[in-house]
A = this chain, B = another copy of it.
């Protein structure tokens, strides 16, 4: 059995909205062993919706549709689906009451457009939306399932969590097993070159292997049928053993999550002193639930005077070496240890661009330091990218630099 995802909305076709729903849905389907044949984004027109449904029903078993269920007049999905499946819209009083109660609870007026959201198909199964006003609708035709959900990501996710167990019960298929390993700081082509012997062996055994690069990181994913789990585990181990410093985790691991675990294990605290990253490293650390157990705070010392007044970097160093220098970055990191009273501190200072570069320190020049209570490590990077990528690279390299210090592979 296979699935297809259809997202409806002119906002996607004109590029105003990035379709993040499809990736999330695909990931959930993958976990229960349902391969996605394709993902299609189409316009808010009857013709586009109808012809996409015709094609999808012909070639897949399960069609997941998102979007076009809002209360505004440009959303026509519900009407088109009801006609397509020869159903009809009737008022679902229970849902109308629920929506009205919800609006009361958040002190917002219950409008006629909101009541329209309770006009739902008579025959299709209606899936309650606990996080919004647009219900899910589950249509069936020729043994195929078509499920329509709103496009608002968290509402769609809430509905998927309700319908997924039903898919699992209905379709019992040979599960796929996939394992992903994550590396930071080694380019895709070098990684591929250094495992090419292994890759040939892996592929010759019918296990698929894929590389997924992102800023400063590469994911390697192996996929095969469930019973080959142990074989995959052995290959993963061999790949990891070739890049001990770059390897940082599996699957959905994030550097900030891995760091959090290490700090909790060691019962140590963390702070940051950020210049070019402007708080982005701290924000990443804080994105992890429970980070208050190890993260104490940061000083974003963007201006020279803050580096001096709050982090105690001597003015002489700032003027002699400049803010983007080994001398200053190490003093920022050590200053963070003292001022924030933490066990580890990441410090960043660089020229993010587009302005501020010089011949000696072009845009993309970044210093990162990691201080402990005893020692300070520092390194210079040349990212040579645009502003947002220079900042993102600094965040990722800074986090992995700390991780390497935490596991004792920096000296």
Contacts and interface: CB of A to CB of B under 8 A. Distances in A.
Nearest to A191: B72
A14 B41 contact: no
Given A13-B36, A300-B300, A286 B391 contact: yes
Contacts of A42: 38
Nearest to A55: B55
A250 interface: no
Interface stretch (A16-24, A80-88, A140-148): A16-24
Contacts of A106: 384
Contact of A298 (B12, B108, B287, B300): B300
Contact of A39 (B12, B74, B356, B386): B12
Contacts of A17: 23, 212
Q: How large is the interface on A (under 10, 10 to 19, 20 to 34, 35 or more residues)?
A: 35 or more
Contacts of A356: 292
Given A15-B36, A74-B211, 14 more contacts: A13-B35, A17-B23, A18-B20, A18-B23, A22-B41, A40-B41, A70-B188, A72-B189, A106-B384, A154-B389, A279-B282, A280-B286, A297-B302, A300-B300
Interface of A: 10-20, 22-30, 35-43, 48, 52, 70-74, 106, 108-109, 111-114, 133, 152, 154, 178, 180, 187-190, 192-193, 196, 199, 203, 208-213, 219, 221, 272, 274, 276-283, 285-287, 289-292, 295-303, 305-306, 309-310, 339-341, 352-356, 384-389, 391
